[in-house]
Structure 1
Amino acid sequence: MTGLTDANVLPTIGSKELIAGMALWLGIGPGDTVVYPRNAYPTYELGAALVGATALASDDPAEWPASTKLVWLNSPGNPDGSVLSYTSLKAAVDRARELGAVIAGDECYAELGWSPSYDGVATPCILDPRVIGDSRHGVVSVYSLSKQSNLAGYRAGFVAGCSEVIGQLLAVRKHAGLMPPAPVQQAMVTALGDEAHVVAQKKLYRARRARLAAALEGAGFRIDRSEAGLYLWATRGEDAWTTLEWLAECGILAAPGTFYGADGAEHVRLALTSTDERIDAAVRRLSS
């Protein structure tokens, strides 16, 4: 992201707070539609419910109705670790602009891409000129330091992009008292200015991912998507709850894919955020 000024960036109390409240801050309500991914954690749908808007889970821009006022993309995705290409991002932005909707890219896992093409670089950003051309109009990126810097407890995030959208969010949020404390903002500045710790974090998660992925595949699982992020999206080709029961008997905790949408009916989500000792214990149990 280049060429951003103070008018294009707003610190937030983590990213989830903004995601839950975005429809409210933008004046969206009954009769309007909020679009979010088919595989998604529930905060997008919650944000629509809070304002009485219609929530639509859809990954196809052609399906988005004329009533669409806010579109959420999530790349890299939670729970499935999928990454949208520049072409896919551009198609989504073009359709949102055609509808006059704000489009927001939730990119909190951007630094955690696992393919060689993402070594040393972030995954595709919705604010890239290849996506938005020479205008940021109607487009914002949401980011958090919870993942790249392990600062989840700090509630340190920001939204960047279209100055009109940022201005509207600022005008409402400051009167609601939604300003991150100054020490947290200073910690954000420090963390965003240091790449070394991000590289170290990624190395740690990559090693855990390699060990756990190999053990899962050895135990008969297939890992789908999972190109980025802190989770493995795995299946044995059966109902997710049957898989969960099998994992529980091994002493391994996972989340059913149905928590994140109907498309996850045969998948489970396994996190890489446990300690090395716990990951290694899971590997031993899967191997036995």
Structure 2
Amino acid sequence: MGFAPFSTPYDWSRLAAAKKTAARHPDGMIDLSIGSPVDAVPDSVRRALADAANDPNAYGYPVTRGTESLRAEIVGWFLRARGVDLTALHAGVIPTQGSKEAVSLMASLLGLGEGDVVVQPRVSYPTYEIGTQLAGASALKVDVADFESWVNVPGVRMIWVNSPSNPTGEVLDAEQLRGIVAAARRIGAVVVSDECYALMDWRGEGGNGCSATPCILSPEVCGGSANGLLCLYSLSKQSNMAGYRTALIAGDDDLLAPMLNVRKQIGQIISGPCQAAMVAGLRDMEAVATQRNRYRRRLETLVRGLRAAGYDAAMPQGALYVWVRSKSGDCWTDIDDLANLGIIVSPGEFYGDPAYLRVSSTASDEAIRTAATRLGA
């Protein structure tokens, strides 16, 4: 495993000029670009972190594979929140230092390299491609659900799925996921499903914190076997724990076992107190439901504001962003226009389509309301 050179347009410094313009707005800048949580960490999580501050797993080296209580809670969470019985699937679990390191290292940890092809959504989170480049493999950007677009391509070894999608909010149904899994298994490729926004599904009223978003490990999708399948999840959005770096991989234990060995050697370990906090975050579904409702309201407010400004905006199926076509046809032109209103959004170019904008709901209620007012003025 080595790191090959990479290149990407995903560079937040490219927004520096627009931010200078936005900062000159008399009522200040509202940043709706980076999807970083702004709300408080649940009390249950903070108490767990404090209580574990002097545990053996804190003053001593923490367990790479996760404490027994954490591993058991991950299994319990999948059953409660996703309807997935990891035990019945004989699936393994590994806690990770946030989901980004899992995404960026995935191709390398799977042993991919020159000549190998990684399939990913055409419009998607940039780190999928960066991780592929770091491994020395090649990215193929397609409509992943259209498996005929990649199943016969030589060298395909891995397929990225992201549902709900960052940035588009698209949700893949069980039938689409089942087709992807079957096609991947026919060619011996691994499916890695990034489901970090799984509990942010807006297609129904919901409200209990659980999601209608199908999981790659659901029996109706995987046929009762985790073979060749990995699922990623994070507590960053559901519990505002981005700074805790608490995430996980679950799935085919034959794939996870060698990853665990590498992680032990390079020290990719969640700190002991944060492992305890992760247990609390997975248990506290009431806090998840509260946060979910906040995001729904914020997205609805943003959609109204964008429509008032002349954008063809709609509520996403899932995730935390409004993905909307720019009025000018070029994301950077619209970014400059919005900066004059004191509003900063993400350029669609970062995600693969320069004709679009990504507008994040990860801002305070007041900031979201103010942004919507400015847009409609």
Q: Return the alpha-carbon distance in structure 2 between the equivalents of residues 201 and 251 of structure 1.
A: 26
Structure 1 regions of 5+ residues with no counterpart? none
Cα drift, residue 115 of structure 1: 1.6
Matches within 5 A, 1:157-176: 157-176=247-266
Cα drift, residue 3 of structure 1: 3.4
Q: Is the 8 A contact 1:82 1:225 kept in 2?
A: no
Match of residue 220 from structure 1: 310
Q: Is the 8 A contact 1:38 1:58 kept in 2?
A: yes
Q: Which amino acid aligns with 1:268?
A: L
Q: Which amino acid aligns with 1:105?
A: S
Cα drift, residue 225 of structure 1: 6.9
Match of residue 194 from structure 1: 284
Match of residue 4 from structure 1: 87
Q: CA, structure 1 residues 71+225, in 2 after alignment: closer, same or farther (shift >3 Å)?
A: farther
Tell me if 1:249 matches 2:340. Answer: yes
Match of residue 129 from structure 2: 45
Q: Which string of whole-angstrom CA distances, capped at 9 and with x for unpartnered residues, describes residues 88-116 of structure 1? A: 11111111111111111100000111121
Q: Which amino acid aligns with 1:134?
A: G
Cα drift, residue 242 of structure 1: 2.2
Higher relative contact order (CA 8 A, sep 6+): 2
Match of residue 44 from structure 2: none
Matches within 5 A, 1:75-114: 75-114=163-202
Match of residue 54 from structure 1: 138
Q: Return the alpha-carbon distance in structure 2 between the equivalents of residues 92 and 225 of structure 1.
A: 26
Q: Return the alpha-carbon distance in structure 2 between the equivalents of residues 253 and 4 of structure 1.
A: 45
DSSP 3-state at the match of 2:237: helix
Tell me the C-alpha RMSD between the 2 structures: 1.6
Q: Return the alpha-carbon distance in structure 1 between the equivalents of residues 331 and 250 of structure 2.
A: 37
Q: Which amino acid aligns with 2:368?
A: I
DSSP 3-state at the match of 2:86: coil
Cα drift, residue 63 of structure 1: 2.0
DSSP 3-state at the match of 1:274: coil
Cα drift, residue 53 of structure 1: 0.5
Q: CA, structure 1 residues 180+232, in 2 after alignment: closer, same or farther (shift >3 Å)?
A: same
Q: CA, structure 1 residues 78+138, in 2 after alignment: closer, same or farther (shift >3 Å)?
A: same
Cα drift, residue 198 of structure 1: 0.3
TM-score of the pair, normalised by structure 1:
0.95
Q: Which amino acid aligns with 2:246?
A: A
Tell me if 1:30 matches 2:118. Answer: no
Match of residue 376 from structure 2: 287
Q: Which amino acid aligns with 1:2?
A: D
Q: Which string of whole-angstrom CA distances, capped at 9 and with x for unpartnered residues, describes residues 149-205 of structure 1? A: 000000000000111111121122111111111211111111101110000001111
Q: Which amino acid aligns with 1:259?
A: F
Structure 1 stretches of 4+ moved >6 Å: none
DSSP 3-state at the match of 2:268: coil
TM-score of the pair, normalised by structure 2:
0.73
Stretch deviating more after TM superposition (54-63 or 29-38): 54-63
Q: Return the alpha-carbon distance in structure 2 between the equivalents of residues 157 and 3 of structure 1.
A: 16
DSSP 3-state at the match of 1:8: strand
- Corresponding pairs, count: 286
Q: Is the 8 A contact 1:7 1:166 kept in 2?
A: no
Q: Return the alpha-carbon distance in structure 1 between the equivalents of residues 118 and 262 of structure 2.
A: 19
Q: Which string of whole-angstrom CA distances, capped at 9 and with x for unpartnered residues, describes residues 76-134 of structure 1? A: 11011111111111111111111111111100000111121655331111111111102
Q: Is the 8 A contact 2:207 2:293 kept in 1?
A: no
Q: Which amino acid aligns with 2:371?
A: A
Tell me if 1:259 matches 2:350. Answer: yes
Q: Return the alpha-carbon distance in structure 2 between the equivalents of residues 215 and 55 of structure 1.
A: 36
Structure 2 regions of 5+ residues with no counterpart? 1-83
Larger-Rg structure = 2
Q: Return the alpha-carbon distance in structure 1 between the equivalents of residues 315 and 125 of structure 2.
A: 16
Matches within 5 A, 1:133-172: 133-172=223-262
Cα drift, residue 54 of structure 1: 0.7
Q: Return the alpha-carbon distance in structure 1 between the equivalents of residues 358 and 91 of structure 2.
A: 38
Equivalent residue for 2:267, pick from 165, 168, 177: 177
Q: Is the 8 A contact 1:23 1:47 kept in 2?
A: yes
Tell me if 1:272 matches 2:361. Answer: yes
% identical equivalent positions: 43
DSSP 3-state at the match of 1:185: helix
DSSP 3-state at the match of 1:81: coil
Q: Is the 8 A contact 1:7 1:167 kept in 2?
A: no
Q: Which amino acid aligns with 2:141?
A: A
Q: Which string of whole-angstrom CA distances, capped at 9 and with x for unpartnered residues, describes residues 225-273 of structure 1? A: 7211111111245222222222112111101111101xx2321000001
